[in-house]
Amino acid sequence: EIVLTQSPGTLSLSPGERATLSCRASQSVSSSYLAWYQQKPGQAPRLLIYGASSRATGIPDRFSGSGSGTDFTLTISRLEPEDFAVYYCQQYGSSRYTFGQGTKLEIK
């Protein structure tokens, strides 16, 4: 099983700042199979990024994804108030999907 470890666990920033969220895999992951989701309280996850770097439909361009192999990054260039949420990375490998434990992005 490929384990995804997200860091930091909690990130405290102010609106307008840049957020950098990390997702590290226990073994190499195909970039095609790496996605990022945003989840707000009481809501289902929302797809942000697929294929490590492609934005999903309707996702603002302040969200970007990068990385390869075992290290992937989600960057939010300038935080808006609605961006404060929990973010999960997800991968597919060895016939199963796994998610990271999440990074909580909170208002400082």
- Binds other proteins by CB under 8 A, chosen from 23, 25, 72, 90: 90
- Binds other proteins by CB under 8 A, chosen from 46, 59, 64, 75: 46
Helix (H), strand (E) at residue 16: none
Interacting stretch for other proteins, rule CB under 8 A, among 11-19, 66-74, 77-85, 92-100?
92-100
- Binds other proteins by CB under 8 A, chosen from 2, 13, 56, 59: 56
The two structure tokens encoding residue 89? 């990375």
Question: Minimum distance between the CB of residue 16 and other proteins, rounded to whole angstroms?
Answer: 28
Q: Are 80 and 15 in contact (CB under 8 A)?
A: yes
Exposure letters 26-53 (e unless 16+ CB within 10 A, then b) = eeebebeebbbbbeeeeeebeebbbebb
Q: Are 100 and 4 in contact (CB under 8 A)?
A: yes
Q: Is 38 in the site for other proteins (CB under 8 A)?
A: no
| Residues near other proteins (CB under 8 A) | 1, 32-33, 35, 37, 43-47, 50-51, 54, 56, 88, 90, 92, 95-102
